[in-house]
Amino acid sequence: MTPVSINTGRLRSPFYPRLAELDSLNTWHNWAGYSSAEALYCEDMEYFAIRNSTGVFDITPMTKYRITGPDALDYLNRLVTRDMRKIKPGRVAYAIWCDDQGQVIDDGTIFHLREGEYRLCSQERHLAWLTTAAIGFDVTVKEETAEIAALAVQGPTSYSVLKNMGIDGLDSLKPFGLIHHQIFGTELMVSRTGFTGDLGYELWIDPDKAIDLWDALFAAGKLHGIQAIGTHALDLARKEAGYLAPFEDFLPAETTVRTGRTRSPLEIGMEWLVDFNKDNFNGRRALLKEKAEGSTWRLVKLDIEGNKTADHSYIYADDKKNSDEIGFITSAAWSPVCKQNIALGTVRTPHGKPGDNVWVEVYYQREMHWNRVMAKATVVDKPFWFPARRGMTPPAPF
Amino acid sequence: MINKYDAIVIGAGHNGLVCSALLAKAGKNVLVLEANDQVGGAAITREFADGYSVSACAHLLYKIQSQVEKDLNLNINLASDNLSTIVLSEVGEHVTYCGNKVTGVNESDQKNFAEFFKRMTRFSDLLNTYLNKPPPRLGTKNKKDLFTLAMLGFDLRRMGKVEMREFLRLIGMNIYDELDERFESPLLKGGLSLDSVLGTHLGPRSPNTILTYLFRMAGKHGTLSTPKGGMGSVTKAMSDSAKAAGVEIITNAKVKKVIIEKGTATGVELNDGTIYNSEIVVSNADPKKTMLELVGARNVETRFTHRIDNIRMKGNAAKLHIALNKLPTIKGFSESDYSQRILIAPDENYVERAFNSAKYGESSPLPVLEITFPSIKDSSLAPSGCHVMSAVVQYAPYQQKSDWNEEARTNFKNDIFSVLKQHMPDIENCCLSSEILTPLDLEKEFHITGGHWHHGELTLDQFMFVRPVAGSAQYQMPIDGLYLCGAGSHPGGGISGASGRNAAQVILKREKR
């Protein structure tokens, strides 16, 4: 056997040359084996690009799996909790998948690219699970993370930017829809998806054309305030949208050791994604049992009084007789666009129903000294940030 | 046509028949669907040449459980009973053992053999108690399971400190080391090695071959008999008993799939499209065939499917049938010797070497054999004056490099005959016709995945609490109303009827709730 040389270092996305040019902070971290920028020049300004103009985020490291074969639909339908038969070609589904015990492994998006041809994207790698789940199905699961370069283009002016680039069909592209567009002698896939809760798109292309795409995009967006952004800006935006992050708001079941640390979809507010009318999906038996017997945990979105960010705080019941700790915060931030002190947390049932009041114990430091406040918080059921433009078709030009 | 039943059993193998009879006796309206044209599964008598018949798979009866005989009022007509085992020596100095007696070896081996037998039967008795009940679940709060577990611990301890320690030392061990420590006679060691590995993908040096030996001894201490009319008569008696209890049996009815609606079994569909409905579906098929083919992965969970898919069940035993115009000559054999069980396993290393080839997808060039001439005591099996030879031949791996093409089959047959010729020089002259059934043939003919006699390797990781797989050892599959009753579930292979009986108990108990 001839020895094969493998790059064991950190991978660079095909957009890296452009990102490196814009980068003045040099704060990179590891995302699924790739270098990913936390921020490029100022995380606050990058965040405001998402909300006020257009932010461009390199999502190449997002793991991508191509799922094809005669049983592709049946395979996906057993894998995820929602009914994939309803997702027609040209549509995208947000989905979650569980282990046999009905505990969430991860969430992600499934693109129905063409009839019977799917792409599953998620933050974490799952080839082992996806391969195991393929036993007994005539299906091919192929890891194609490195074969596709992708950018998230998010913000109120994103529609105008892409239109400027000459992409057709955007006027009728609804949220969670996708179109194919010919450019640079190759195919560009455009989906109206994202992780910011705003108007936005994701672009998918052959890595060889990544730089061409970047240059065309930034040229088209020059007068629309286009900015490259890092993960910190995106993370704040996703909290405002009420989106969950694995390893923060839930733990992927396959990598969790301690019992009771995982969550079921019912415990993270994803009941709407669980279709018990399907004949079967992985975890169905366990989840039916949980539904009948009641869940242990509930995910809550909290609107907290004051302006002290409630990172890692304990949550207490608002009850004179019972002031026990009922849970904790998993993600928290001051939302600049909502002017709200927001957080996602996990509490024991029956606590945390929408409209309930709870108390959050916030610690914060001022010049070395620690202070503590008990802040009142309200459980809300809608995302903190949900602008009308996010759902408008066609979106308004800016 | 009535097509609604209280219970449907897929497959009329011996366990399916036992299970159906017991369900019917408890008042259930039971239907048995058999893919082949006769009942019995692999336990049938089969004509392989004009006028010559043999038991198609297992040819010796040593495990049938007395409870099964009693529950089904079975009256099995035996052609021969309490057979001795003769391990052939090329020079005619054979070693013969039966019960705790052995001849043809020195005094110390004789003494050691009696001691060995005593200990092994004691351990196998302990094992046997637990083969005849559903295995307890681990990590449960169910009182019955906890009680059974406690009893298991208690029974172990009750043997006394020394014996318990010995049991725990031996249970995971290989037979080779134990035999080497105890005995001198190569033939005795060879014979006992073969006893331990028959029907498995294990060599005498493989771990837990003492367990497989104990499993063989469980029930009747290894007492061997042959049924009159071959193994088919045993399953015939079972099916008669089932029919008497009201069971309806349809042959040539190949089940295509188990019908499942939202996690509950509601019936089965045949290849021809016929549908039979029932709230209880019991599968006598092996776990892989049941879950991956008849049920389908889409109806069960991923990890469960993974575990089922990983069950080791690639057969390694072939069956050789020879029609003889007369009995072959064996040096030093008396007339009565021919009706015994005859082994070709000259020593323990020979057996291990035979296994070596199987590890790499090749059949053994020097195979080991378990031979019987059942026609001596049962004239129904061959024309007058003629005889049949029925032999289990190892090793013949299911996954043979050349996929058992004609050349591979001929070569293997030639290898077997040259081994036979060393002990029976005139075998070729006696031979009128012959056939060999490889695991691939057994898979095709009896619909057993991998052609494995035990529906899954009998090893500690696929035994008791974890047979067929962890989390579903009590016959109930993770589909409401679907049960296993075949050898792939606890306790395992051999014509014992224990799996079928245990499964029936579990099903009837669930029903009561």
Task: Taking residues A1-18, report their average pLDDT.
Answer: 86
Name which residue leads in pLDDT, B138 or B385.
Answer: B385
At B136-170, the pLDDT tens digits run: 888 788 888 899 889 988 999 999 999 999 999 99
With cut-offs at 50, 70 and 90, classify the pLDDT of residue A324. confident
**Cβ–Cβ below 8 Å for A135 and B309:** yes
Task: Taking residues B122-144, report their average pLDDT.
Answer: 88
**Cβ–Cβ below 8 Å for A100 and B303:** yes
Option in A99, A137, A284 nearest B297 (CB): A137
Whether residue A70 is contained in a domain is answered as no
Whether residue A142 is contained in a domain is answered as no
Cα distance between residue B366 and residue B403, in whole Å: 19
Option in B299, B306, B309 nearest A280 (CB): B299
- Give bridge partners of residue A201 from the DSSP assignment: A153
Q: How far is CA A168 from CA A136, A182, A189, A220, A394, in A?
A: 41, 10, 12, 14, 12
| Residues whose CB falls within 8 Å of the CB of residue B257, separated by 6 or more in sequence, listed in order | B268, B269, B293, B294, B295, B296
**Cβ–Cβ below 8 Å for B309 and A285:** no
CA distance A269 to chain B (A): 23
With cut-offs at 50, 70 and 90, classify the pLDDT of residue A398. confident
**Cβ–Cβ below 8 Å for B303 and A132:** yes
Cα distance between residue B400 and residue B450, in whole Å: 11
Q: How far is CA B510 from CA A292, A326, B9, in A?
A: 21, 39, 17
Query: A170-184, B179-193, B464-478: which has the minimum mean pLDDT?
Result: B464-478
**Cβ–Cβ below 8 Å for A129 and B302:** yes
Cα distance between residue B35 and residue B443, in whole Å: 13
State the Cα torsion B377-B379-B383-B385 to the nearest 10°. 50
Cα distance between residue B297 and residue A135, in whole Å: 7
Task: Taking residues A103-129, report their average pLDDT.
Answer: 96
Tell whether the model's pLDDT for residue B1 goes beyond 70.
Answer: no
State the CATH number of the domain containing residue A199.
3.30.1360.120
| Residues whose CB falls within 8 Å of the CB of residue A364, separated by 6 or more in sequence, listed in order | A308, A309, A370, A371, A372, A373
A55 and A204 belong to one structural domain: yes
Q: Name the one residue in this structure whose structure tokens are 């005591």.
A: B377
Q: Is A100 on the interface with B (CB under 8 A)?
A: yes
Q: How many CB atoms lie within 10 A of CB A386?
A: 13
Option in A136, A279, A285 nearest B297 (CB): A136
Chain A to chain B, count of Cβ pairs less than 8 Å apart?
53
The rounded radius of gyration (Å) of the Cα atoms in chain B is 22
Q: Which residue of A has its CA nearest to B307?
A: A132
CA distance B282 to chain A (A): 20
State the Cα torsion B147-B149-B155-B157 to the nearest 10°. -120
User: Which of A131, A262, A285, A289 to probe by mutation at the B interface, max B CB count within 10 Å?
Assistant: A285
Q: Is A51 on the interface with B (CB under 8 A)?
A: no
> How, if at all, do strands B45-49 and A340-348 pair?
unpaired
A55 and A157 belong to one structural domain: yes
- Give bridge partners of residue B7 from the DSSP assignment: B30
Chain B residues touching A100 at Cβ < 8 A: 301-304
Option in B298, B303, B309 nearest A280 (CB): B298
pLDDT > 70 in chain B, percent: 99
Query: A342-356, B19-33, B134-148, B393-407: which has the minimum mean pLDDT?
Result: B134-148
Chain A residues touching B292 at Cβ < 8 A: 135-136
Indicate the helix (H) or strand (E) that contains A203: strand A200-205
With cut-offs at 50, 70 and 90, classify the pLDDT of residue B512. low
> How, if at all, do strands A226-228 and A54-58 pair?
parallel
Q: Name the one residue in this structure whose structure tokens are 């009879």.
A: B21
A223 and A327 belong to one structural domain: no
In 3-state terms, what secondary structure has residue B144? helix
**Cβ–Cβ below 8 Å for A136 and B305:** yes
Cα distance between residue B465 and residue B210, in whole Å: 18
A228 and A304 belong to one structural domain: no
| Residues whose CB falls within 8 Å of the CB of residue A114, separated by 6 or more in sequence, listed in order | A89
Cα distance between residue A105 and residue A265, in whole Å: 10
Whether residue A330 is contained in a domain is answered as yes
Instruction: Take residue A365 and report the two structure tokens written for it.
Output: 């430091």
pLDDT score, position B142? 86
**Cβ–Cβ below 8 Å for A132 and B300:** no
At B213-248, the pLDDT tens digits run: 999 999 889 899 999 999 999 999 999 999 999 999
Instruction: Take residue A224 and report the two structure tokens written for it.
Output: 């629309």
In 3-state terms, what secondary structure has residue A302? strand
Instruction: Take residue A316 and report the two structure tokens written for it.
Output: 């207490």
At B462-490, the pLDDT tens digits run: 998 899 998 888 999 999 999 999 999 99
Going by C-alpha positions, the residue among B511, B488, B481, B506 that lies closest to residue B136 is: B506
Please answer whether residues A254 and A65 qualify as being in contact, where contact means their C-beta atoms are separated by less than 8 angstroms: no
At B39-65, the pLDDT tens digits run: 999 999 999 999 999 999 999 998 888
Task: Taking residues B447-456, report their average pLDDT.
Answer: 94
Option in A74, A77, A100 nearest B302 (CB): A100
Tell whether the model's pLDDT for residue B350 goes beyond 80.
Answer: yes
**Cβ–Cβ below 8 Å for A136 and B306:** no
User: Distance of alpha carbon A98 from its chain centroid, rounded?
Assistant: 17
Determine the topology of domain B4-43+230-312+454-512 in CATH: FAD/NAD(P)-binding domain (3.50.50)
Chain A residues touching B306 at Cβ < 8 A: 132, 135
Across all residues in chain B, what is the average pLDDT?
A: 94
Instruction: Take residue B295 and report the two structure tokens written for it.
Output: 């049920």
Chain B residues touching A282 at Cβ < 8 A: 301-302
**Cβ–Cβ below 8 Å for B292 and A283:** no
Q: Which residue of B has its CA nearest to A276?
A: B262
Interface of A with B in 70-99 (CB under 8 A): 74-75, 77-79, 99
| Residues whose CB falls within 8 Å of the CB of residue B143, separated by 6 or more in sequence, listed in order | none
pLDDT score, position A133? 97
ipTM of the complex, rounded to two decimals: 0.90
**Cβ–Cβ below 8 Å for A133 and B298:** no
Chain B residues touching A99 at Cβ < 8 A: 302-303
Q: Which residue of A has its CA nearest to B291?
A: A136
Chain B residues touching A284 at Cβ < 8 A: 263
Whether residue A249 is contained in a domain is answered as no
**Cβ–Cβ below 8 Å for B297 and A283:** no
With cut-offs at 50, 70 and 90, classify the pLDDT of residue B435. very high
Cα distance between residue B208 and residue A277, in whole Å: 46
Cis peptide before A350, with omega less than 30 degrees from 0? yes
Give the count of domains, chain A: 2
> How, if at all, do strands B7-10 and B281-283 pair?
parallel
A157 and A235 belong to one structural domain: yes
Cis peptide before B135, with omega less than 30 degrees from 0? no
What residue numbers bound the domain in which A154 lies?
Answer: 16-60+148-241
Cα distance between residue A371 and residue A364, in whole Å: 5
Q: Is A280 on the interface with B (CB under 8 A)?
A: yes
Tell whether the model's pLDDT for residue A2 goes beyond 80.
Answer: no
At A33-88, the pLDDT tens digits run: 999 999 999 999 999 999 999 999 999 999 999 999 999 999 999 999 999 999 99
Q: Name the one residue in this structure whose structure tokens are 């293997």.
A: B412
pLDDT score, position B2? 60
User: Where along chain B do the CATH 3.50.50.60 domains lie?
Assistant: 4-43+230-312+454-512
Indicate the helix (H) or strand (E) that contains B482: strand B482-484
CA distance B313 to chain A (A): 17
**Number of DSSP helices (H) and strands (E) in chain A, helices first:** 8, 19
At B399-426, the pLDDT tens digits run: 999 899 999 999 999 999 999 999 999 9
A43 and A189 belong to one structural domain: yes
Whether residue A263 is contained in a domain is answered as no
At A374-390, the pLDDT tens digits run: 999 999 999 999 999 99
Option in A75, A132, A280 nearest B306 (CB): A132
Chain B residues touching A129 at Cβ < 8 A: 302
With cut-offs at 50, 70 and 90, classify the pLDDT of residue B513. low
State the CATH number of the domain containing residue A316.
2.40.30.110
Cα distance between residue B432 and residue B327, in whole Å: 12
Q: Name the one residue in this structure whose structure tokens are 């207490």.
A: A316
Q: What are residue B32's phi and psi, to 5 degrees?
A: -110, 130
Chain B residues touching A291 at Cβ < 8 A: none
Q: Is A393 on the interface with B (CB under 8 A)?
A: no
With cut-offs at 50, 70 and 90, classify the pLDDT of residue A320. confident
Going by C-alpha positions, the residue among B324, B340, B438, B330 that lies closest to residue B381 is: B324
User: Which of A104, A282, A287, A288 to probe by mutation at the B interface, max B CB count within 10 Å?
Assistant: A282
Taking any CB pair shorter than 8 Å as contact, residues of chain B touching chain A are 260-263, 292, 296-306, 309, 478
Task: Taking residues A263-274, report their average pLDDT.
Answer: 97
